[in-house]
């Protein structure tokens, strides 16, 4: 049985991954940081943050700072691991870094857990 995620779930995962990466880079995250990083409008990010908050993936302080909840962090770390491993595997077989990063972003959402684990085992053995 195949499982293809809806665009809204892919978008949610991209936002969570971006929040995690920005937090690691800057120590804090605001909606404007996300908008700038993803090149989205502030309005689009605002709608997405409301949805992520309602789903329990993030909290927002009165100061505007965004933090991942435990479940948000777990989901973000999972997406980032997939992205990083897939990009590195593609680069190791000769794909340019730019294309590998773009393709990894597309693949990370739709790859099955079984295939991801097999790739992970294969790529980690080679390195």
pLDDT tens for 56-75 read 999 999 999 999 999 999 99
pTM above 0.75, yes or no: yes
Predicted confidence band at 5 (pLDDT cuts at 50, 70, 90)? low
Residues 78, 64: one domain? no
Residues sharing a CB contact under 8 Å with residue 115, sequence separation 6 or more, in sequence order: none
Three-state DSSP at 67 gives strand
Residues sharing a CB contact under 8 Å with residue 110, sequence separation 6 or more, in sequence order: 4, 5
pLDDT value for 124: 80
Range of the domain at 33: 7-72
Domain count, the chain: 2
Tell me if 2 is assigned to some domain.
Answer: no
φ and ψ at residue 81, rounded to 5 degrees: -60, -45
Tell me if 1 is assigned to some domain.
Answer: no
Predicted confidence band at 1 (pLDDT cuts at 50, 70, 90)? very low
């Amino acid at each position: 049985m195949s499982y293809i995620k809806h665009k809204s779930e892919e978008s949610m995962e991209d936002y969570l991954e971006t929040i995690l990466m920005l937090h690691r880079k800057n120590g804090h995250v605001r909606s404007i940081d996300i908008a700038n990083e993803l090149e989205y409008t502030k309005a689009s990010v605002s709608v997405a943050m409301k949805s992520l908050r309602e789903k329990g993936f993030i909290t927002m302080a009165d100061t505007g700072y965004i933090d991942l909840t435990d479940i948000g962090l777990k989901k973000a770390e999972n997406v980032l691991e997939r992205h990083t491993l897939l990009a590195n595997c593609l680069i190791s077989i000769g794909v340019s870094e730019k294309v590998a990063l773009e393709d990894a972003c597309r693949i990370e959402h739709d790859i099955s857990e079984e295939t991801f684990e097999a790739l992970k085992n294969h790529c980690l053995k080679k390195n």
